[in-house]
Amino acid sequence: MLAVNWFSSRSFSGSSSASSGTDITRAMILALLIASITVVALLMHRAGLAIDPVAPGTLCFALAFTVLSAIRWFCRDGASGGSRAIRDMAEYFGVFAAITLVGAVASYPIAAESHGFVDPLLQRVDLALHFNWLAWYRMVAAHPLLQVVSRTAYAMIYVSPAILLGFMAITDQRREAHQFIVAVWLAAAITLVAFRFMPAVGPFAYLWHGPIAYVPVSDLWQPQLIPQLRDHAMPFVDLGHLVGLVSAPSFHAAAAVLLIAFALRQPALRGPLVAVNLAMLLATPVEGTHYLIDMILGAVVALVSLWAVTQLHPRLVRMPIRRLSAPARASA
């Protein structure tokens, strides 16, 4: 019932900058980001991993964050609507990119600390659910057009958040943007903790034998990189070539559910974003080489994150309802 109520609630596009709740939310996001960076740095040190500060990928990220920070600073006053929108957009993009980057890097030292693989268990669950991953893969491998659509839909995990956060910046929905960012951070944190205790190489590596008919986006990274990380044979993490190591729960599935949930609260974006992220869910088993149970667990992670956001900020969730009901009481 809580999830249904949350999905059906809608935020309004009026300014929220005057509320003290907004400042608390921003402060919490900053604290979460700092804490995340600290924890990941400790994990990297423990695993004997480092990031090359002068590698091209590192320099590209540094340049991107510098540009976003500069835009945020120059537009800090937000004297006009356009200046405020640019300021907020730079802030949202920068914070969201930092959170996702830290999460991706964290998967490397966590993989180094993991043991064994749980693919036999995950495959048994899929069989109990009557899901045939090999049949799904063969269907995509047999249709080149479907491959293009599948890869495009899977890559929308980079585009959909930018569209959603950009729209929230333009329409001055700061509370909504902060809730989305916190929900994504929490989903990533839960996914990484679960990954530590249930590492897997994925169904492509575990189930497919023989010549490869089609190479999905996720390729065969897990069976190659995870053993290297466990053996401490990979001293550096290349930010320019980060790859997904987490099989269960599926972060793609968690992200798709979160994006659909927040898109449902935006009438102007609801149709396109929901359709795109449903397509991403359909593409995830093959392109992300995920078991069906990976995706179910990812959806559960997203729902837990949504629930936690409503518990952390019940006043922010109820505020649109009070705004809506206030005119009715006044007219009565």
Q: Contact, 89 vs 163, CB < 8 A?
A: no
**Residue 291 DSSP SS3:** coil
Rg of the chain, C-alpha, whole Å: 21
* Sign of the CA dihedral with 264 first, then 266, 271, and 273 last: negative
Instruction: Give start and end residues of each alpha helix (H) in 142-202.
Output: 144-170, 174-197
Residues 6+ away with beta carbon under 8 Å from 236? 49, 50, 51, 52, 55
Looking at residue 80, its pLDDT comes to 80
Label residue 50 exposed, middle or buried (CB < 10 Å: 0-12, 13-18, 19+): exposed
User: In 223-235, which positions are buried (b, 16+ CB within 10 angstroms) versus exposed (e)?
Assistant: eebbeebbeeebe
Q: Contact, 281 vs 179, CB < 8 A?
A: no
Please state the pTM of the whole predicted model.
0.87
With respect to residue 305, please indicate whether it lies within any of the assigned structural domains.
yes
**Residue 267 DSSP SS3:** coil
The residue among 111, 330, 109, 285 whose CA lies nearest residue 199 is 111
State the residue for tokens 């019940």. 314
Looking at residue 220, its pLDDT comes to 87
Structure tokens at 29: 């996001």
With respect to residue 157, please indicate whether it lies within any of the assigned structural domains.
yes
The residue among 198, 181, 185, 306 whose CA lies nearest residue 249 is 198
Looking at residue 314, its pLDDT comes to 53
Residues 6+ away with beta carbon under 8 Å from 300? 249
Quick count: other Cβ atoms within 10 Å of Cβ 89?
A: 22
With respect to residue 64, please indicate whether it lies within any of the assigned structural domains.
yes
| Parent domain of 75 | 21-322
Looking at residue 307, its pLDDT comes to 93
With respect to residue 218, please indicate whether it lies within any of the assigned structural domains.
yes
In the chain, the number of structural domains is 1
With respect to residue 9, please indicate whether it lies within any of the assigned structural domains.
no
With respect to residue 142, please indicate whether it lies within any of the assigned structural domains.
yes
With respect to residue 122, please indicate whether it lies within any of the assigned structural domains.
yes
Residues 6+ away with beta carbon under 8 Å from 319? 175
User: In 141-178, which positions are buried (b, 16+ CB within 10 angstroms) versus exposed (e)?
Assistant: beeeeebeebeebbebbeebbebbbbbbbbbbbbbbbb
pLDDT per residue rounded down to tens, the chain (332 residues): 334 344 444 433 334 443 334 344 678 899 999 999 999 999 999 999 999 888 999 999 999 999 999 999 999 887 787 999 999 999 999 999 999 999 999 999 999 999 999 999 999 999 999 999 999 999 999 999 999 999 999 999 999 999 999 999 999 999 999 999 999 999 999 999 999 999 999 999 999 998 999 999 998 889 989 999 999 998 999 998 898 889 999 999 999 999 999 999 999 999 999 999 999 999 999 999 999 999 999 999 999 999 998 886 554 444 443 343 344 343 33
With respect to residue 10, please indicate whether it lies within any of the assigned structural domains.
no
- C-alpha distances in Å from residue 152, one per residue of 156, 246, 287: 7, 20, 10
Could you say which DSSP state residue 127 is in?
H
Q: What are phi and psi of 214, to 5 degrees?
A: -155, 130
Peptide bond preceding 249 in cis form (omega within 30 of 0): yes
Label residue 324 exposed, middle or buried (CB < 10 Å: 0-12, 13-18, 19+): exposed
